[in-house]
Amino acid sequence: MNANQQQEIKVHSVWDLPVRLFHWVNFLSVISLLFMGFIMLYKKELGITSLEAKIGLKQVHVVIGYVFVVNLLIRFAWAFIGNRFARWSAFLPYRDAPLCPISAAMQKPCGRDSPRLIWDIIHSGGWRLPCFCC
């Protein structure tokens, strides 16, 4: 960039703090549940034989599961009271969102000046959500 040219950079805050915290707590919960599950699966190989230790592992696993569920319930609540990007209306698909973001990309110019493509891809993800839930 030339010294004479100035490019205006705009910062758009889309994901607010509760949504970011939800994703990190969700990530850490899933990783922790997997880790605890593997420990419980291979407890004999790890030398865990006492009944108290086995019960302790299961209790920790259950507590992490409760954290995961409470986190999910908070996110559902935030989808109704959060900012406009965190609400259901911003995520669920509508008629202006293309069913196939690839075909939309072929019809629109791509590049730095095309934020609409990213928005279309995010909205098309809403069409895939019911498929994952069934």
Give the Cα separation of 49 and 112 in Å (integer). Answer: 58
The pLDDT tens digits of the residues spanning 76-107 come to 888 888 887 777 766 655 545 444 555 554 55
Does this model's pTM top 0.75? My answer is no
DSSP alpha helix (H) spans, the chain: 17-41, 51-81, 88-91, 101-107, 115-133
14-38 pLDDT per residue, tens: 778 888 899 999 999 999 999 999 9
Residue 47 DSSP one-character state: T
- pLDDT the model gives residue 134: 47
